[in-house]
Structure 1
Amino acid sequence: MSDSRIQSQAVRVAVLFIDGVGIGRKDPAVNPLADRDHLLSWFQDAPVPALPHGGMGLPVDPTFGVPGRPQSASNQTAILTGDPAPVLVGGHVLGYPNTALKDLLAERSIVRRLKAAGRTATFANAYPAPYLDALGVPRRPSTSPPEFTLSERHARKVRPSAAKLAFAAGGEALRTLDDARAGDGLTHDITGDAARAHGLDVPHRTPGEAAALFWRIAGQADFTFFEHYLADEAGHAQDFTAARLALDTFDAFLRAVAATRPSDARVLVCSDHGNVEDLSVRGHTVHAVPMLYFGPSAPEVASFSTVADVGRAVIRWLGAN
């Protein structure tokens, strides 16, 4: 299929990013996905399961051939630039982008490149305004009183993720909890329950309601990004209860997103590295990660090999460079 044909079909592209989910053993003693029939319940030495709604999937490499365990900062940068970030910066980078990754995101962010090509992009997640202010990233106006006050010491400790830097590089203002309350933003936990448990005033939504809101948000932009990182947190904590809750919620949300996908939309689902699929250890794994696609025919997806192919596909489908 020619690039022009691909672009004419791709009116909208969405990426659902879930942190820390790899392809592990089908062992319920260590893998909370082993006793679940989730869209991300993929297992080693087993074929990729059939996906509903015409979806397709394949395992992709999170290591880029770089020694060591893949990490969030470098692999999320790879997803959001389409570049092999661990190779370019000489190793896997923990947690939050360092100076080299920040520079790469500032120059190569897919959000920046899409907007330079006349496309629009939006980050569906909504965050507390004081948190975004402490990060120093652009945000939408908030008329509500601040949800909390960060001391100068705590404000200095918060650091932006690759996604926030990618959108900041494109000058895209991030959503606040005012947007979540107004029905124009999603909390990272999908339902809002985790945010409410921390005392934040946000509405409760079922995964199905969150999916409907996601598509309303995605209707406003060519590219929409959503990130969910509770599975990775549960993996580091080796917490089966938290892992199952996070994975169950994400699966219900993903199924609803796929079931209600507009015909002109392409959806990519990916992780950055493994973790939660092996709760016998606290750290990340070197396992392959699942990549899922829902949308019009896209045979090129079958050639994806690393997590960076997600960002490259967004750029190609939306006609940027």
Structure 2
Amino acid sequence: MGHPEDAPSGSVWEQDLPTLRPIIDAGLALDTTLGVAGLPQSGTGQSCWLTGQDAVRRMGKGGAGEHFGPHPGPTLQALLRESALPVRLKQAGLSAALLNFYPQGYFAAHAKRPRYGCFPFSFLAAGLALNPPDLPSISPTLGLRYGSPWTATQTLSELAHAGEEVARAAQHRDLLVLDLWLSDLLGHEGKPDAPPELGAAGRRYMQHLDAFLGGVLGAGGRAVISSDHGNFEDLRVKSHTTARVPFAGSGVDLGRPRDIMQAGAVMAGWFGLLERVGG
């Protein structure tokens, strides 16, 4: 989702988010276009984050660049196999895990037609299992139902407790990741005459994220939050946007990146991997 500075009046950012909003306001706003025309997409955007390299310029003819997604095709898959952060962490003897819960239907569907997103693809490329049995399993919907009207299935206190569990688990891992995609799904429901329940669901999702993050930080965890493109910040449209995205965190040095590629390199540097990240 886009940064609140680039969001229209009345966006989901305009509510009381006592943990999330101060962190976002103290952080950075990053470019997602990397100088290439068109709307940013998840395949190239997430590959920039995961590798610290300009995945957008890897696409298109003659180095012209192209925004591509949502899933990584052969070009991006090759880049992720070689340079994704989970792969490099594993090679360096460090530990990482993806905490998303994946139902059995997900695995059955991908057994027939593999179309993994960049995050599960990268962890699998590193030889790391999805649904790791010794770690908390977190629904990427953060306690909302998958379909309209996206009612709550968990309370804010339950989400805060889940955040506390993640913080405790992080004491024994170098990196834990959550790929939270419901905001993108809600963003693609946007339209000029969006129904009230869509805005209500968007605000509810942000409240759930705030509660979960509060649990993580309250239990002593460190956290970083960002996105690969804008759309959820403007529910008047169903497409992605060119809004800048947040790069914010607690207990980490964000550096001074200007775009999502540079921020991906910053994150690699936290683990001593900066010298292994190309331009």
- Quickly name the TM-score band, shorter chain normalised: 0.7 to 0.9
- How large is the Cα RMSD of the aligned pairs? 2.7
- The answer on whether the counterparts of 1:117 and 1:319 sit within 8 Å (CA) in structure 2 is no
Structure 2 partner of 1:127: 102
- 1:54-203 to structure 2, matched below 5 A, reads 56-89=26-59, 90-136=65-111, 155-156=112-113, 159-175=115-131, 179=133, 184-191=136-143, 193-194=144-145
Secondary structure at the aligned position of 1:80 is classed as helix
Structure 2 partner of 1:241: 200
Structure 2 partner of 1:291: 247
- The answer on whether the counterparts of 2:168 and 2:219 sit within 8 Å (CA) in structure 1 is no
Structure 1 partner of 2:256: 303
- The answer on whether the counterparts of 1:190 and 1:210 sit within 8 Å (CA) in structure 2 is no
5+ residue gaps, structure 1: 1-19, 42-49, 137-154
Q: Distance in 2 between matches of 1:196 and 1:65?
A: 35
Q: Distance in 1 between matches of 2:19 and 2:232?
A: 15
Match of 1:272 among 208, 224, 228: 228
Q: Structure 2 vs 1, CA of residues 34 and 207 (structure 1 numbering), >3 Å: closer, same or farther?
A: same
Q: Structure 2 vs 1, CA of residues 276 and 196 (structure 1 numbering), >3 Å: closer, same or farther?
A: closer
- The answer on whether the counterparts of 2:100 and 2:131 sit within 8 Å (CA) in structure 1 is yes
Structure 2 partner of 1:152: none
Structure 1 partner of 2:62: none
5+ residue gaps, structure 2: 60-64, 191-197
TM-score normalised by L of structure 1: 0.72
Q: Distance in 1 between matches of 2:142 and 2:15?
A: 22
Amino acid across the alignment from 2:145: A
Deviation sequence 1:196-253 (CA, Å, 0-9, x none): 99xxxx9887221110121233233111111111111111112212212222211221
Match of 1:312 among 247, 265, 273: 265
Match of 1:210 among 162, 174, 188: 162
Shift of 1:273: 0.8
Secondary structure at the aligned position of 1:206 is classed as helix
- 1:226-237 to structure 2, matched below 5 A, reads 226-237=178-189
Q: Structure 1 or 2: larger strand share? A: 1
Deviation sequence 1:233-285 (CA, Å, 0-9, x none): 111112212212222211221222223234xxx42210111101111111011
Q: Structure 2 vs 1, CA of residues 82 and 98 (structure 1 numbering), >3 Å: closer, same or farther?
A: same
- The answer on whether the counterparts of 1:121 and 1:223 sit within 8 Å (CA) in structure 2 is yes
Deviation sequence 1:127-150 (CA, Å, 0-9, x none): 1134125325xxxxxxxxxxxxxx
Secondary structure at the aligned position of 2:71 is classed as coil
Q: Structure 2 vs 1, CA of residues 73 and 40 (structure 1 numbering), >3 Å: closer, same or farther?
A: farther
Match of 2:174 among 222, 235, 258: 222
Q: Structure 2 vs 1, CA of residues 99 and 295 (structure 1 numbering), >3 Å: closer, same or farther?
A: same
Deviation sequence 1:41-60 (CA, Å, 0-9, x none): 5xxxxxxxx439xx940101
Q: Distance in 2 between matches of 1:39 and 1:284?
A: 26
Q: Identity percentage over the alignment?
A: 29
